[in-house]
Amino acid sequence: MSSSSEKIELMISQKRIKIHVFEPSQRKIWTAVGFGREYWIDPDSKYCSCPGFYFGYINGKKSCYHLDSLTIAKGEHKSEPIIFSDDEYMDFVSGLASDLCCI
C-alpha cells in the first residue's frame, strides 16, 4: 500500500475514523486507526498525533492521510461513532496521553 489515496480509501471504507462521544456532555474526541497504531486527531486545529504529520509539517506539508481521511469521512458521514459515559472521559484521555508519550 504505497499511495496516500489508497490509504485514505481504505481508512474510509474500513471505518477507521472514529468519533468517541461522551454522554451526556457530548464531548467528542476523533481518532484514526492507522495501519499499525491509533492516532488522535483534532480537526479544528488540523492536527494529528502521527509521526507522518509531525515530520511532514516540519517539511511544509499541512496534512497527513489521517486528517485527509477524517475530512472525507465527516463529509460523507462515514466515521464510526463510539459512545462512552462522561465517567470514562478522564481514563480515555489518560490512555491517549500515555500512547502519545510512547510513539
End-to-end CA distance of the chain: 22
Provide the 10 A C-beta neighbour count for residue 98: 9
pTM metric for this prediction: 0.86
Comparing 46 with 97, the larger pLDDT belongs to 46
Alpha helices by DSSP H, 1-103? 4-13, 51-58, 65-75, 89-101
Quick: pLDDT tens for 40-77.
999 999 999 999 899 988 888 888 999 999 999 999 99
pLDDT at 102: 60
**Grid cell for residue 65:** 492521510
pLDDT above 90 covers a percentage of the chain that reads 71
pLDDT surpassing 80 at residue 2: no
